[in-house]
Amino acid sequence: MREYKFEERTVGNILEDKAKTIRGKVYFLHGDMRISYQEMNARSNSVANSLIGLGIKKGDKVCMIMGNSIEFLYAYFALAKIGAVMVPINIALKGNLLKYQIDNSDSSVVMVDSDLVDRVVFIQEEIKKVKTIIIVPEADEKKTGFGPQFDIKKFNHLYDGPPKSPTSDVHFYDPIAIIFTSGTTGPSKGAILSHAHYYIVACLANQYMRYEENSILYSCLPLFHANASTLSALGAMLAGATYAMGKRFSLTTFWNEIRSYQATHTNVLASIFPLLWRQPPREDDAKNPLKVMNTAPLIPEFEQFEKRFGLKLVTMFGTTETGIVLVSPFDEKIKPGTCGKPLSAYDVRIFDDYDVECGPRVTGEIVVRGKEPYAQMDSYYNNPEATVKVFRNSWYHTGDFGYRDEDGFFYFVDRKKDALRRRGENISSFEVEGVINSHPKVLESAVFAIPSELGEDEVKAVVILKKGESLTPEELVSYCNDRMAYFAVPRYVEFREDFPKTPTARVEKYKLREEGVTKDTWDREKAGYKLKR
């Protein structure tokens, strides 16, 4: 892999360089689609020049409500070339949370998949800063339901721009993205990530995943998350390799796609990993082209998994704000329960509540400090207070408990914060509680994690109703389903008269967690209730 100088570390420049040096090499695979580096660059240039023609310039925020698609990649690289800032949003969001992220990011442009347009129409009177709506790939501008305050465009028309490189003044320290991460004591926060940060994360992935020019990196993870956009899409580009995009994870097609694309490397989430293991063994399990799979955390049977599927596992730990900071060394045997050792770009330690470093085997908070410029996020967008707090004493505080052993391996213990993680998606208990508390019959609620059979979290909501009111779990879940991402809708619901509280009237969630699923807890899955996506 060629190492780029600091001034060369912009995503647009890297694509330009690869288009010149390995021109016809296939960069992108999806279904029957094959796109070379040269074609990817030329089409991204066309989109970039068309966006400039619409008045989009360096520093403008462009909200992307898009699933995995070739249009997402064209937009990703085009905005990087202009110096505009992409704001990729989870496509499951709707209602207040969608409005908040569009508005809080100061986005003036929204790119939205045609099948998700109704979600933006629903909040159109509340997103006052948005001037332009670009529908992907296209739709009838006159029948979208948008008011006259918006300039409606079709993404397909962006291909009409000239394929030459756009004139721009983009630097490695400029922001490429604002990615929202779950709020724990407040609303979601937008992490400002630079071009140099994207480069460092992708460069390190090349090292610990052992990408090569002939590698094919398959990812079915969403491009609106940092994992797929940096480790896979940009990671493949730095290696001069090929990125094979899956639309979404499907247990029935995962291995078929791996074999179809002849994929050599992949990243999967913790919720995917045990599902793959629990499938009935087949004689051809090991007859697949995969060499390396990256996941976290590992299941106890990880060594049997490696033998069964004939591959090398790599485990890791990271956050949106830092990128991947801990990885199991490729040439060392993985210790059970570990999430690895610090990568070269990061100093990782365990601190107590007063930021004093803990000794081996002592549990404390995992904290991170970059050794290279822009190894971590710049700050939280429009949130200096949260930025100062999370970087207390010049260390990024992850909010996660862990410890290290005498050999320098780190181990994740639990989440210090009230965020939850379900099926690979981060969930803010604060935001789920906000939706539940907006129900006219609800007085108060507490949302927290219940351990999942799949190794992550399930969402439980304990609810106090207003005096004299009645509400069924089905009615509450339906209310939530209309107002939040499907993955955040509580699986467990329990109604009760009061909460355990501190003297300062804060709910003692740890006591509720200890109670877990009680005899009075309603289970959505056992009840057979189906969510709308």
Domain spans, the chain: 37-193, 420-527
What is the predicted pLDDT for the residue at 140?
84
Indicate if the pLDDT at residue 198 is higher than 80.
Answer: yes
What is the predicted pLDDT for the residue at 419?
64
As a whole-number percent, the residues of the chain with pLDDT over 90 amount to 78
Indicate if the pLDDT at residue 466 is higher than 70.
Answer: yes
Tokens in use for 372?
């290279």
* Interval 352-372 mean pLDDT: 95
Higher local confidence (pLDDT), 167 or 342: 342
Indicate if the pLDDT at residue 406 is higher than 90.
Answer: yes
Question: Torsion angle, CA of 211/216/220/221, rounded to 10 degrees?
Answer: 20
Q: Where are the beta strands (DSSP E) in 273-322?
A: 292-295, 312-319
What is the predicted pLDDT for the residue at 505?
57
Higher local confidence (pLDDT), 168 or 28: 28
Give the residue from 275, 157, 298, 182 showing the smallest Cα distance to 220: 275
At 424-459, the pLDDT tens digits run 777 778 778 889 988 999 988 999 988 887 777 899
What is the predicted pLDDT for the residue at 504?
47
Contacts of 497 (CB under 8 A, 6+ apart): 464
Sign of the four-CA dihedral 352, 357, 362, 365? positive
Return phi, psi of residue 412, to 5°: -80, 135
As a whole-number percent, the residues of the chain with pLDDT over 70 amount to 97
Place of tokens 């347009």: 117
What is the predicted pLDDT for the residue at 424?
73
- Secondary structure in 3-state letters for 159-202: HHCCCCCCCCCCCCCCEEEEEEECCCCCCCEEEEEEHHHHHHHH
What is the predicted pLDDT for the residue at 506?
67
Give the residue from 14, 12, 79 showing the smallest Cα distance to 48: 79
C-beta separation of 286 from 310 below 8 A = yes
Tokens in use for 69?
């698609």
Task: Please give the class, per CATH, of domain 37-193.
Answer: alpha beta
Place of tokens 């290279």: 372
CA distance 435 to 479: 9
Indicate if the pLDDT at residue 420 is higher than 80.
Answer: no
At 474-529, the pLDDT tens digits run 999 999 999 988 999 999 999 999 988 754 456 878 789 889 999 999 999 999 99
At 282-295, the pLDDT tens digits run 999 999 999 999 99
Assigned architecture for domain 420-527: 2-Layer Sandwich (3.30)
CA distance 260 to 208: 25
At 200-250, the pLDDT tens digits run 999 999 999 999 999 999 999 999 999 999 999 999 999 999 999 999 999
